Copies of this chain bind each other. A is one copy, B any other.
Amino acid sequence: MKCSNRINGVGTSPVRKLIPYANGAISKGKKVYPLNIGQPDIKTPDLFFEAIRNYKTEVLKYVPSNGMPELINAIKDYYSGYGMEYAFEEILITCGGSEALLLTLLALADVGDQVLVVEPYYANYNTIFKALEIDVVAVSTKAEDGFHLPAKEEIEKVIKNNPKIKAILLPNPGNPTGTVYTKEEVQLISDIAKENDIYIIADEVYREFVYEGSECVSFGTMEGIEENLIIIDSISKRYSACGARIGCIISKNKDVIAQIYKLCQSRLSVPELEQVGAAALYETPDEYFKEVNEEYTKRRDTLYAEMSTMEGVVCSRPEGAFYSMVKLPVDDAEKFVIWLLSEFDINGETVMMAPGEGFYATPGAGINEVRIAYVLNVEDIKKAMNIIREGLKQYPGRTV
């Protein structure tokens, strides 16, 4: 008896694989700043808890497989506020953005089909690719270019060489890069998808997290790609409600929605109370986003200012989300993080980050990079940066 080959192909998440080392540090009484995981420390608006407290039900029943009407309507209105008009039937509620992506990929790609990503890309995509035996094809981007897209020709060449590409999967704003694609880039991807008859899976869960008046251009605002486009969304980051696990799939492609709906039926429904809370969150006043945005701007600025002055570090200024992909002057970023957790501290404090290699499809790429989630307050980020700065000076595997 052995497990399936497909599950054996699944690796461990780079975001979580070093947790045993972090736990080791904690068990020795050290404090560990968690820069590895995109878990915001922002308070979840009380609207969520209030709605659940006020919700009366005697029997916790299966709710509709496509989602509770109040939540679907709330999302519909939210999109309408961005000038994107979606019908009730074009929205399916899911258990987080992760279920949204799993169901979408099952519906679009067969075993051996390919999905195009821009590397570095969100490492959790890999688990789904491997489990569903979808092959990943990567277009490379670089820290030096702020991880923006290469020229159209380059992307088209990759598509021409890989005829089994069924979809382009793109987070915008980007995780792990923090890159916000320009309108021209969104247009470029839209054109390529249309011309080559492939789907776009737009992962836009960080839509509100853009800094300094830069704007997240949603693929939902582009014309002519209605049949190509599937938007993946979630309340996790928008309302700092990761633990609620509420996401959705949005598409005007009727066949795609009908097919995914069959999968929704098979898992019966998404948790009822969390949907009630999520629907209420969409009433959150705009000031909330303004405050959150100001806070993240400060964090981003702190991180970037500190990183920019560390010798040998290459760090582009993140434009959105709350991640930065940083190149370090080390032999191997994973070894460096393990060393920080096992061998190093300043006054009993150290830092956890996600090693970069797991965010790349190209072998060997990202080996000296880390993803940093700036989800801590400014004071803590300063302390964490100081630990990295001093750590880099003392780390035996330093390269420059």
A43 to B57, CA, bound (A): 9
B60, A10: Cβ atoms under 8 Å?
A: no
**Per-position binary interface string of chain A over residues 7-18, scored 1 when its CB falls under 8 Å from any chain B CB and 0 otherwise:** 110111100100
- Specify which chain B residues have a CB less than 8 angstroms from the CB of A53 in the assembled complex: 53
**Per-position binary interface string of chain A over residues 231-259, scored 1 when its CB falls under 8 Å from any chain B CB and 0 otherwise:** 00000000011111100000000011001
B266, A13: Cβ atoms under 8 Å?
A: yes
A133 to B43, CA, bound (A): 43
- Specify which chain B residues have a CB less than 8 angstroms from the CB of A270 in the assembled complex: 245
CB contact under 8 A between A102 and B267, given known A3-B107, A262-B7, A273-B52: yes
**A330, CB-defined interface residue at 8 Å:** no
**A42, CB-defined interface residue at 8 Å:** yes
B59, A40: Cβ atoms under 8 Å?
A: yes
A291 to B260, CA, bound (A): 39
Count this chain's copies in the assembly: 2
- Specify which chain B residues have a CB less than 8 angstroms from the CB of A166 in the assembled complex: 1, 4
Report A7 CB to chain B, min CB distance, Å.
Answer: 4
14 A-B residue pairs with CB within 8 Å = A1-B197, A6-B111, A7-B259, A7-B263, A44-B59, A44-B60, A95-B267, A106-B131, A111-B133, A128-B266, A243-B269, A243-B271, A244-B271, A245-B271
- Specify which chain B residues have a CB less than 8 angstroms from the CB of A102 in the assembled complex: 267
**A170, CB-defined interface residue at 8 Å:** no
Contact of A241 among B60, B98, B265 (CB under 8 A): B60
CB contact under 8 A between A124 and B243, given known A4-B107, A43-B59, A198-B1: no
Contact of A243 among B48, B63, B110 (CB under 8 A): B63
CB contact under 8 A between A16 and B265, given known A3-B259, A4-B110, A244-B60: yes
A59 to B375, CA, bound (A): 13
Which B-chain residue is minimally distant from A197 (CB atoms)?
Answer: B1
Which B-chain residue is minimally distant from A112 (CB atoms)?
Answer: B111
CB contact under 8 A between A262 and B62, given known A4-B106, A227-B1, A274-B271: no
A263, B131: Cβ atoms under 8 Å?
A: yes
B274, A62: Cβ atoms under 8 Å?
A: no
**A41, CB-defined interface residue at 8 Å:** yes
A243, B62: Cβ atoms under 8 Å?
A: yes
CB contact under 8 A between A107 and B7, given known A44-B59, A262-B12: yes
